[in-house]
Amino acid sequence: MIAFIFPGQGSQKVGMGTDLAAASSHAREVFQEVDDALGQNLSKIMAEGPEDQLTLTENAQPAIMANAIATLRVLEKEGGVTLADKGAFVAGHSLGEYTALCAAGAFSLADTARLLKLRGQAMQAAVPVGEGAMAALLGADLEKAQALCDAAAEGEVCQVANDNDPGQVVISGHKGAIERAAGMVKDHGIKRGILLPVSAPFHCSLMQPAADAMAAALADCPPQAFTVPIYANVTAAAVTDPAEEQRLLVEQVTGRVRWRESVLAMQAAGVTRFVEVGGKVLGPMVRKIAPDCTATSVVTMDDIEALAKEL
Report, as residue numbers or ranges, the catalytic residues: 94, 203
* Spatial strand order in the sheet of 132-138: 158-165, 168-174, 132-138, 192-195
Query: What are the phi and psi torsion angles at 232 (to 5°)?
Result: -80, 140
User: Collapsing DSSP states into helix, strand and coil, what is residue 272?
Assistant: coil
Please name which of 108, 97, 104 lies closest in space to residue 61, comparing C-alpha atoms.
97
Could you give the CA distance from residue 188 to residue 147 in angstroms, rounded to a whole number?
Answer: 8
- Taking residue 155's Cβ as centre, other Cβ atoms within 10 Å add up to 8
What pairing do the DSSP bridges indicate for beta strands 273-277 and 294-298? parallel
Q: How far is CA 263 from the centre of its chain?
A: 14
Phi–psi pair at 254, nearest 5 degrees: -100, -10
Largest CA distance in the chain: 55
* Amino acid in the structure at residue 206: L
